[in-house]
Amino acid sequence: MTGGSQRDLSEVDNGGRRVVLGVTGSIAAYKAVEVCRRLVDAGFHVSPVMTADATRFLGAATLSALGSEPVHDSLWSDADPIPHTALARSADVILVAPATATLLAKYAAGIADDLLTATLLATRAPVVACPAMHAEMWEHPATVDNVATLRRRGVVVVEPGVGRLAGGDEGAGRLADMEEILAAVDRVLTPQDLAGRTVLVTAGGTREPIDPVRFVGNHSSGKQGEALASEAAVRGATVTLVTAADRPAPAGVTVVRVDTAAEMESAVLERAATADVVVMAAAVADFRPKAPAGEKLRKADGVPDIVLEPTTDVLAELGRRKRPGQVLVGFAAETGAVRAGAEDKLRGKHLDLVVANDVTAPGAGFGHDTNAATLLDAGGRWTDVGLTSKRELARIVLDVVWARLSRQD
């Protein structure tokens, strides 16, 4: 299944890149407030452009206060004598959220009768359109044709979601989830160097049942694996995330949820053979109770004797099965000798890259949004990554993966 992205654009250095945020006359215009805020927080320079109908749903003063500059709403009264070309040329991306059926129709037909449509026709920047309208309008053949035309011309259309619409109706047409919109912006600004590749990522800590209530587990949150899956998807890969973490699914990623080490083993080995890249970021239990109780263990019955047995070493099995050209990445959660642990895991499990970290270091390891790690590749090259966001560490890891894939092509 797919769902909302875990991508946090604030974790990326956007270098003041400019977004023209177009807002049209939809009841969903109020959601543009959050879009604008998130983009500014992420370091983008946001130039809001509102149509006349948009101001019926949302006051221009709101976006003027939240954006990087006051709202632009007219071809004729703007401070710039040619506002549409100035906006079009300065934009790194144009995002229209929400985009009405009228906006889609005019853009597809090449009609430029207001500032937003004129800017769209004048730009050479990528355009992301996020439709929002009633289901009947979204499904109308004219809208279907207009969307197809825009996509053929290279416009990225973020499909509306299904749910409650204005007036209490239900159906397709509500503005896409915030994370999906932000992921689309991220994607058009990111080189698609992993396009055509299939990437399998694991995340989270498995839980091995003691009884129907209790389990043996670990502190893994799944954040690093999810960051890797999101980064790979943004870079164009077809991504499957096998996760034991109970967190929202990243946008554009197929998610397989598991609980135990055995379930993780089955899901991963079933899919690994067709993957170009396998990244084992999950904390898979090394041991599990040999005979889980069928009913809840009672304190009154005394302290139970829990006998453990080893689980399958999934990463080692992947190393044994690794096909030519496949890149296998392992993670080593250490509490001391990070480099020694990395060397042992790289050699012993036939890895192409190992990412090792000291989970006791401040700000690193389980549960944090940041991490620090040491990378060791099969050529013996070490890379130390200081404390940074887990998304930035994911980017660095996948840069190494991409370089290895490129050398093999």
pLDDT digits (tens, 9 = 90+) for 128-177: 999 999 999 999 999 999 999 999 999 999 999 988 777 777 778 899 99
Assess whether 308 and 330 both reside in one domain.
yes
Assess whether 272 and 350 both reside in one domain.
yes
pLDDT (mean) for 85-112: 97
As given in the structure block, the two tokens for residue 378 are 């099969």
Write the burial class of residue 106 (CB in 10 Å: 0-12 exposed, 13-18 middle, 19+ buried): buried
Assess whether 207 and 351 both reside in one domain.
yes
Residue 32's region, left for phi above 0, alpha for psi from -120 to 50, else beta, is: alpha
Assess whether 150 and 85 both reside in one domain.
yes
**Confidence band, pLDDT 50/70/90 cuts, at residue 9:** very low
Return the CATH number at 146: 3.40.50.1950
**Confidence band, pLDDT 50/70/90 cuts, at residue 4:** very low
Assess whether 241 and 369 both reside in one domain.
yes
Instruction: Answer whether the bond into residue 83 is a cis peptide, omega within 30°.
Output: no
Q: Rounded to whole angstroms, how far apart are CA atoms 371 and 387?
A: 5
Is 362:341 a contact under the CB 8 Å cutoff? no
Q: How far is CA 87 from the centre of its chain?
A: 28
Among 188, 217, 236, the domain-final residue is 188
Assess whether 207 and 140 both reside in one domain.
no
Quick one: angle between helices 223-234 and 178-188, nearest 10?
50
Assess whether 203 and 182 both reside in one domain.
no
Assess whether 321 and 380 both reside in one domain.
yes
Closest CA to 48 of 11, 83, 9, 5: 83
Write the burial class of residue 53 (CB in 10 Å: 0-12 exposed, 13-18 middle, 19+ buried): middle
pLDDT digits (tens, 9 = 90+) for 206-265: 999 999 999 999 999 999 999 999 999 999 999 999 999 998 888 889 999 999 999 999
Asked if residue 3 belongs to a domain, the reply is: no
Task: Give the chain's domain count.
Answer: 2
Among 165, 188, 211, the domain-final residue is 188
Asked if residue 239 belongs to a domain, the reply is: yes
Structural domain harbouring 22: 9-188
Closest CA to 132 of 210, 16, 216, 54: 54
Return the CATH number at 339: 3.40.50.10300
> Could you tell me whether strands 18-23 and 253-257 are parallel, antiparallel, or unpaired per DSSP bridges?
unpaired
- Catalytic residue, chosen from 14, 146, 218, 357, is 218
Assess whether 95 and 128 both reside in one domain.
yes
Assess whether 177 and 270 both reside in one domain.
no
Q: Please say if the pLDDT value at position 125 is more than 70.
A: yes
Among 188, 207, 225, the domain-final residue is 188
| 218 tagged catalytic | yes
Query: For residue 112, what pLDDT is reported?
Result: 97
